[in-house]
């Protein structure tokens, strides 16, 4: 994979980063990374913010532009939007809801098959993140004290979700059922509302069968 593509993926996954941070992640020199950053800025893929962090010069944080986001797959967004419009016209809102419910049920069956044998919520969550990454969501999990976070740094169905937000509500309900009774799942960041990623705060009361 080329260095420029690696930089795009790092910024997509982690948000704005300094040249030094990117250099550390890539195992390159800061000078070498800056050359790539400047070239990518000239191409319209990167922009930056100079942020004061106390004394000394502001730190320069590099970030993706809207043009750069288009380089990540969206599963044929134009066709998807046309199909959604056709479903709404032909079958109405009830038909759209039936389509989303069918997708949700199919996903749930497939996810549960992969989770068979998982004994704890944490194990189910790890498998969920793995499946979502395989589907193009660039998912990861992180423990933060007494709760966990599920991060999705890319939305391969963003066009469909923007056109019909029931897709997003459906996925949230799916996560809640997959992780089990007594588990709280709340979305705190949402790509289609302008956030860099979707993030979900997940918590549950520890017990012998959930630890």
pLDDT category, 208, cuts 50, 70, 90? very low
Q: Please indicate, yes or no, whether the overall pTM of this predicted structure exceeds 0.95.
A: no
- DSSP-assigned states of every residue in 4-18: HHHHHHHHHHH-SB-
Choice among 22-31, 152-161, 169-178 with the minimum mean pLDDT: 152-161
| Answer CATH for 77-204 from 3.30.1380.20, 3.40.1160.10, 3.10.129.10, 3.90.1580.10 | 3.30.1380.20
- What are the backbone angles phi and psi of residue 16, rounded to the nearest 5°? -55, 135
Judged by average pLDDT, the poorest of 6-15, 73-82, 143-152, 170-179 is 73-82
Q: pLDDT at residue 204 above 80?
A: yes
CATH topology of domain 3-69: Arc Repressor Mutant, subunit A (1.10.10)
Q: Is 127 exposed, middle or buried (0-12, 13-18, 19+ CB in 10 A)?
A: middle
- Does residue 7 have a pLDDT over 70? yes
Among all chains, which residue has been given the structure tokens 């749930």? 108
Average pLDDT over residues 89-107: 91
């Amino acid at each position: 994979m080329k260095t420029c593509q690696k930089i795009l993926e790092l910024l997509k996954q982690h948000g704005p980063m300094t040249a030094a941070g990117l250099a550390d992640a890539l195992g390159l020199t800061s000078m070498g990374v800056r050359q790539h950053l400047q070239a990518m800025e000239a191409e319209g893929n990167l922009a930056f913010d100079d942020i004061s962090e106390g004394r000394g010069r502001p730190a320069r944080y590099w970030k993706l532009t809207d043009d750069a986001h288009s380089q990540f797959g969206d599963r044929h967004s134009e066709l998807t939007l046309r199909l959604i419009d056709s479903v709404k016209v032909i079958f109405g809102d009830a038909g759209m809801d039936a389509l989303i419910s069918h997708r949700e049920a199919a996903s749930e069956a497939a996810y549960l098959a992969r989770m068979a044998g998982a004994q704890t919520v944490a194990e189910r969550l790890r498998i969920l993140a793995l499946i979502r990454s395989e589907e193009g969501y660039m998912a990861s999990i992180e423990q933060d004290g007494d709760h966990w976070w599920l991060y999705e740094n890319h939305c391969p169905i963003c066009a469909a979700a923007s056109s019909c937000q029931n897709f997003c509500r459906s996925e949230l309900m799916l996560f809640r059922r997959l992780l089990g009774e007594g588990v709280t799942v709340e979305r705190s960041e949402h790509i289609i509302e302008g956030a860099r990623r979707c993030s979900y705060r997940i918590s549950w009361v520890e017990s012998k069968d959930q630890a």
